[in-house]
Amino acid sequence: MTRMSPKAKVDIARGHLTKAQADAAEGDLRDALQWSFASLEAAIDALASAHGIATDQQHWKRRDAAKMLHEQGVLPKDLSGLHGQLNEERQAVFYDGAEPTPEDVDIDSILADVEEAVVAAEEEAR
């Protein structure tokens, strides 16, 4: 499989975040969660690649990379917990048929945290 450059991953992260924001604005939490997760993963991939941290396209390695990136001062906060939360939320939605509600999911907070990761990746790619 061909690996993407960190810059390409940044562009993907921004595109996925834009979709998440649009879905959230329309009240579609299912898709907003999915796109938020995909955006966060792409941002983590871009940052991890730039800092020599292997993710190997595996969720658990991305979660660990998010923690390491925070510890190295690359990310302003540890997003490993958010990564785990989003992974569980999307699995509940797509595998178990769960319907997220605004009472269960603070989508605005999630989007703000994901945007921090995307912005960090964009700044790194410049």
Question: Any idea what the CATH number is for the domain that residue 57 is in?
Answer: 1.20.120
Inside any domain, residue 91: yes
More confident residue, 112 or 7: 112
100 close to 93: Cβ distance less than 8 angstroms: yes
Token couple for 20: 């998440």
Inside any domain, residue 36: yes
- List of residues 6+ apart from 112 with CB closer than 8 A: none
Host domain of residue 36: 6-125
The predicted-structure confidence for 16-32, as pLDDT tens digits, reads as follows 999 999 999 999 999 99
Q: Which long-range contacts (CB under 8 A, 24 or more apart) does 81-88 make?
A: 82/40, 82/110, 82/113, 82/114, 83/37, 83/40, 83/41, 83/44, 83/59, 86/33, 86/36, 86/37, 86/40, 86/110, 87/37, 87/59, 87/63
Inside any domain, residue 1: no
Q: Give how many domains the chain has, as a whole number.
A: 1
Inside any domain, residue 44: yes
More confident residue, 6 or 102: 102
> pTM to 2 decimals?
0.93
